[in-house]
């Protein structure tokens, strides 16, 4: 394996052991709560450890300056966050590859929208595919991190619009403005708060947001990616709701609509798979 790649080494006991460009990290993973560790001798060798009780990191070896990962069509910085995260979600790589495929271009530059955009991996994927992208996240540090990711890739001058904003409010405003996008990516948390402090609950708030996103999609050619990790909502719930929407019903009736749904997973060195949430991908190719 290349030394600038991600690898899941082992998982179990509610934790996962990962290699981030050779830096070994031991951090929480609720999905691994019912699993047993397979490589117990490897865990004490972790370079960095996140303690859930104190919500703090400890480092046997200093976190490497400028650490970044090869994500296929782009690179992303990785860093320890106060919540035990590393600045990206490696299980999303198949979705990044999907987003990075060059879309069927129209007369103008194709537009992409990334909601709950976090530190910008999906934004970078769309930019890699030649799109102009609107990057929306309620947390200013996340938007600043996305700018850093663009700089890492040498994409400071690419058409990326960075916004610190509430995803729901922004999408509703775009509907009123009659804006249109070719590709929309949504990666909402199960729980959270917008930039104004308004509470977000996936089971309650996802459906109206999906309705607005469908209003924003081009009818001749579009892609929609919805990902998440929740006990209350899974891929079948999202797909069933989308299929009930009049816009999607019309698209299914009038042309071929390519749909892919499933669970994102990471495989460790022992061939075991760790669940990492759901994905729903819907795509309509431009009509001839």
First to last CA, the chain: 42
Q: How many CB atoms lie within 10 A of CB 41?
A: 7
SS3 call for 25? strand
Dist. CA 192–CA 61, nearest whole Å: 32
Nearest one of 267, 273, 270, 276 to 40, comparing CA atoms: 270
Q: Over range 160-168, report the average pLDDT.
A: 96
**Structure confidence at residue 59 (pLDDT):** 97
**% of residues, the chain, pLDDT over 90:** 84
**Structure confidence at residue 200 (pLDDT):** 78
**What confidence tens digit (pLDDT) does each residue in 108-122 have?**
679 999 999 999 999
- pTM of the entire predicted model: 0.93
Higher pLDDT, 115 or 253: 115
**What confidence tens digit (pLDDT) does each residue in 54-110 have?**
999 999 999 999 999 999 999 999 999 999 999 999 999 999 999 999 876 555 679
Tell which phi-psi region holds residue 92, choosing left (phi > 0), alpha (psi between -120 and 50) or beta: alpha
Positive or negative torsion for Cα 165, 72, 49, 17: positive
Three-state SS string over 39-99 comes to CCCCHHHCCEEEECCCCEEEECCCCCCCCEEECCCCEEECCCCCCCCCCCCHHHHHHHHHH
Positive or negative torsion for Cα 23, 95, 102, 219: negative
Nearest one of 127, 123, 204, 212 to 169, comparing CA atoms: 212
- Tokens standing for 272? 């075991």
Alpha helices in the chain (DSSP H): 93-100, 121-128, 140-152, 167-176, 202-216, 235-244, 246-254
**What confidence tens digit (pLDDT) does each residue in 13-63 have?**
999 999 999 999 999 999 999 999 999 899 999 999 999 999 999 999 999
Q: Is the Cβ–Cβ distance between 240 and 248 less than 8 Å?
A: no
Mean pLDDT of the chain: 93
Task: Answer yes or no: is pLDDT of 171 > 90.
Answer: yes
* DSSP type of residue 21: T
- Tokens standing for 97? 């590859």
How far CA 169 is from CA of 50, 173, 259, in Å, comes to 34, 6, 27
> Which domains does the chain possess?
6-70 (2.60.40.1180), 85-284 (3.40.50.150)
**What confidence tens digit (pLDDT) does each residue in 173-208 have?**
999 999 999 999 999 988 777 666 678 788 888 999
pLDDT band at 2 (very low <50, low <70, confident <90, very high): very low
pLDDT band at 162 (very low <50, low <70, confident <90, very high): very high
pLDDT band at 143 (very low <50, low <70, confident <90, very high): very high
């Amino acid at each position: 394996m290349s030394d600038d790649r991600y690898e899941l080494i082992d998982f179990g006991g509610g934790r996962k052991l990962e290699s981030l460009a050779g830096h070994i990290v031991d951090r929480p993973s609720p999905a691994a709560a019912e699993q047993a560790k397979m490589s117990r001798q490897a865990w004490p060798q972790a370079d960095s450890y996140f303690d859930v009780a104190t919500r703090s990191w400890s480092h046997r070896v200093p976190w490497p300056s400028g650490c970044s990962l090869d994500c296929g069509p782009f690179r992303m910085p990785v860093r320890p966050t106060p919540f035990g995260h590393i600045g990206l979600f490696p299980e999303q790589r198949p979705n990044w590859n999907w987003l990075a495929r060059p879309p069927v271009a129209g007369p103008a530059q194709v537009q992409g929208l990334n909601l709950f955009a976090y530190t910008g991996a999906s934004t970078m994927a769309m930019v890699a595919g030649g799109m102009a992208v609107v990057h929306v996240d309620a947390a200013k540090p996340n938007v600043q991190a996305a700018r850093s990711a663009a700089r890492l890739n040498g994409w400071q001058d690419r058409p990326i619009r960075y916004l610190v904003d509430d995803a729901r409010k922004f999408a509703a405003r775009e509907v009123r403005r009659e804006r249109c996008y070719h590709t929309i990516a949504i990666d909402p948390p199960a729980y959270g708060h917008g930039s104004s402090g308004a509470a977000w609950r996936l089971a309650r708030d996802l459906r109206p947001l999906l309705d607005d996103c469908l209003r924003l999609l081009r009818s001749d050619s579009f892609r929609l990616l919805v990902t998440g990790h929740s006990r209350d909502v899974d891929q079948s719930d999202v797909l069933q709701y989308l299929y009930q929407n009049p816009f999607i019903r019309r698209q299914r009736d009038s042309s071929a609509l390519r749909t892919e749904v499933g669970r994102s997973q990471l495989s460790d060195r022992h061939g075991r798979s760790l669940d990492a949430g759901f994905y729903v991908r819907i795509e309509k190719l431009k009509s001839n």
